[in-house]
Amino acid sequence: MNAFLADLAVWALPALLAITLHEAAHGYVARAFGDPTAERAGRISLNPLRHVDPVGTLLVPAGILLLSLLTGAGALLFGWAKPVPIDPSRLRHPKRDMFWVAGAGPGINLAMALGWALLFKLALTFLPPFWAVPLARMADAGISVNVALMVLNLLPLPPLDGGRMLVSVLPPRPAWALSQVEPYGIAILLVAMLSGAASSILWPMFVAVRSTILATIGF
């Protein structure tokens, strides 16, 4: 239990930041392209409580972390927040602009992963071990949770960001066909995650992106 609480303390801040800024980024870019729905709902906010989903933000990641500790096996940490309300009809160019609104979430996760990587390097380079070790552990967690959230959301499955980005660039007929999957997308994803099918796709992507980010800072 002590090990679980220690890991929870390390992962909590990076996970909350990753999910909060991911969702706020959608709302911010939607507002920039003409849709004020998220702003009016109070979702362009750095307050995590406005974005937290009790199951997806708290229970699922904590359960994955606990299961990983109990089994000793690595696991891809993932979760979700309350979806930011977007009204595509209020965007100035709905089909084109939705690409950027959807891509804002994974984009901010990539930026945060790079930021945590820089903190990781600075901590190990300039700080004494007493401060460097816990800070580097948190920065390492920050890299992992942001990369995981990014690659998960880039899957081409609506309502994930990758699915909505693909809908925005496809011709009308296939775009419409793919958009019809959206009501069932989360159920499909959960089945794929529980069966291990999603992990076989996501894990190599996670490792490749994380390794590339670490390589950029010389690790």
Given pLDDT bands bounded at 50, 70 and 90, which one contains residue 49?
confident
Burial bucket for residue 176 (CB in 10 Å: 0-12, 13-18, 19+):
exposed
Structure letter (DSSP) for residue 82 = P
**Does 182 qualify as catalytic in the annotation?**
no
pTM value is: 0.89
**In the predicted model, what is the mean pLDDT of residues 103-129?**
95
69-74 long-range contacts, CB within 8 A, separation 24+: 69/3, 69/4, 69/7
Residue 188 has pLDDT above 80, yes or no: yes
Structure letter (DSSP) for residue 84 = P
pLDDT the model gives residue 74:
58
Residue 1 has pLDDT above 60, yes or no: no
**In the predicted model, what is the mean pLDDT of residues 4-24?**
82
Of 11, 20, 21, 23, catalytic: 23
pLDDT in tens, 119-146: 999 999 998 988 999 999 999 999 999 9
Question: What whole-number distance in Å separates Cα of residue 164 and Cα of residue 175?
Answer: 9
Contact of 105 with 153, CB cutoff 8 Å: yes
Residue 215 has pLDDT above 80, yes or no: yes
Structure-token pair, residue 54: 């009790």
